[in-house]
Structure 1
């Protein structure tokens, strides 16, 4: 029965795109060549994030330049010049640094806290498997059910925060098709919505795990009575991690803060679009003309702030679809494989795999011992 479910679930997991099988390693910038390779990298780079904004910025800049040179009359050019000088004078008065520093610091602290409390399934399954008495007739079935419920709780937790995982499993029926949920379990989970129960589904599955552990304790299936309390502590730690992950999704950063930062950055960008010297070309040097038509410095300042803003926005939701986000589908695949591997520990025996260990001889023949040099 377990082998059938294993093949069914792994077949579903194998449908995850093969690109997920490659993990991103940390950049190596120990030498000059490594720094150049990092600068030229496209995947997960700042160029990939801001190239559209770059096109829009320069398109608007040259559109405004064309309007000034060929559309406006003399009075319009005078008014435009006054506005351009005003923006040029006050472009540095907008303190974007304070707002961005507060936003990115808050987002990064939140990201690091989230990464440290991501729940895992291996410890929970291992504790339970090794706490049971060996060779129980119902042992493999109990272990399989407990391990499957652990993975199910993990999936239901991360469906609340990860859009790619929701795309893989849009509803409970898809989980049943994948062999992760049984029909009776699906009905119990779907009843939550009909009864308007506010308890997250993942926490309900953990309650099932606690009930199974309670039954194992009553039926004296643990090797020692203290094992029951130890496994309960591990499961409650897992439950706390799942609950914190759900809170991460429900208690997200205020939209007002994100909107305020976006408004400040794009307002600064609009000011740099207008901030220019519109003196007649005859009175400007060649360098001034080039600077007016190629706004390198204003655009560089704006895009430094824009990259900073995008970095903070990525940190707000580390479970999205960006290149640098946490690969939740790959984590799911790993947890499923760990589930079956750890559950098989119950029916495996060390001597069947490696053979009996050599016996240590405490009483050795004195004649066989070599003389110790003085």
Structure 2
């Protein structure tokens, strides 16, 4: 059906017919846009072929405008510092177990329960934190029932833990609850005489606090990542740099090319540069979230199993060792020097 535009030009004004140029339906633009697009593409190909050398030189002379080393180096430093802090905050339960075995004394059943519960609660904090930041641990402990089945939490403790859902919002973390239980046991053990001195109690509580603080830092680093615009800029810079290299590193074939230049058919040095810069970017990506599932990410499940085995050995398997005089106590001992080859 013919488009009726009489109403649009009923009144003669300077812009009346100008408005008709922007009508799409039944317009000249709709009729010829495919042919026009084909013409422009062919023209652009021919034009690019004729001016290819100028384009290559243009991009090659301005490639240094992109500060690759500065951008990658600065961002890698920030990511590495965060990664280092997270390594330091992984949470090894050795100190807590050693201080518990040393200061919480007694061979009766109640004392053994106190010692084991304190370290178990500390390990429970780690399991709860890792469940929320590591997919590997999340698959291992998808629910609190699996945490109970693994022995980190007792059924009545699970009910008490879940009862805080009514008192706290669902978005509030509850990692402090096992730490509070551990502090309560140290206080009770001191009142019952299993911890002989208030100083011993304070030292033990300080170890528990430091362990909890480290895991709090782990959670905070996962909760507050680097601003999104930062990795976006880095990713954009690196990829745009090599997009420009597709043009700037082309070999120019013309009469006025410098004599002696070799056409290697493949960009050898640019390929090395790609490996180094892109590898640098991959290093940063791995450092940003070390609790993922990449080859170099933290083995969180191994750390949990290692802590379990370690505190079991410290609390139950290690016997008192009475040292005897060694060779250094002998009056006839003389220094032995080993010749360096």
Q: What TM-score do you get using the length of structure 2 for normalisation? A: 0.73
SS in 2 for 1:100: helix
Q: Distance in 1 between matches of 2:157 and 2:250?
A: 70
User: Which residue of the other structure, out of 156, 174, 186, is the alignment partner of 1:201?
Assistant: 174
Provide the rounded CA distance (Å) in 2 between the counterparts of 1:295 and 1:284. 17
Measured after TM superposition, the shift of residue 183 of structure 1 is 1.7
Q: What residue is the counterpart of 1:111 in the other structure?
A: 83
SS of residue paired to 2:86: helix
Tell me the CA shift for residue 207 of structure 1. 0.9
**Residue 226 (structure 1) aligns with:** 199
1:119-268 mapped onto 2 (5 Å cutoff): 119-193=91-165, 195-196=168-169, 199-268=172-241
- Distance, in Å, in 1 between the alignment partners of 2:260 and 2:67 is 29
* SS of equivalent residue, structure 1 residue 138: helix
Q: Secondary structure at the match of 1:146?
A: helix
1:74 aligns with 2:46: yes
Per mean C-alpha deviation after superposition, the further-off stretch among 297-306 and 120-129 is 297-306
Is the helix fraction higher in 1 or 2?
1
Which residue of structure 2 aligns with residue 41 of structure 1? Answer: none
Say if 1:265 and 1:302, in contact at 8 Å, map to a contact too: no
Partner deviation per Cα, 1:324-365 (whole Å, 9 max, x = no partner): 2222221111111112212215xx753xxx7x8889xxxxxx
Aligned CA distance change for structure 1 residues 88 and 128 (closer, same or farther; 3 Å): same
Partner Cα distance (2:43, 2:120) in 1? 70
User: Within the alignment, does 1:296 sit opposite 2:241 as a pair?
Assistant: no
Alpha-carbon distance, 1:232 to partner: 1.2
Cα distance change of structure 1 residues 199 and 125 upon mapping to structure 2, 3 Å threshold: farther
Higher relative contact order structure (alpha carbons within 8 Å, sequence separation ≥ 6): 1
Q: Structure 1 length as normaliser, TM-score?
A: 0.67
Q: 1:95 matched to which residue of 2?
A: 67
SS of 1:104's partner is helix
What's the CA shift string for 1:272-310, capped at 9, x where partnerless? 01224465589879986734x312222322332111111
What aligned pairs does 1:321-332 form with structure 2 within 5 A after superposition? 321-332=293-304
By how many angstroms is 1:241 displaced? 1.1
**CA displacement 1:253-280 (0-9 Å, x = unmatched):** 2221111100000000100012244655
> Aligned in 2, Cα 1:116/1:276: closer, same or farther, shift over 3 Å?
closer
Q: 2:221 & 2:100 partners in 1: Cα distance?
A: 28
Partner of 1:274: 247
Q: Give the whole-Å Cα distance in 1 for the aligned partners of 2:298 and 2:97.
A: 23
Gaps of 5+ in 1: 1-69, 360-374
Deviation at 1:143, TM superposition (A): 2.1
Contact 1:147 1:343 in 2 (8 A): no
What is the deviation of 1:153?
1.2
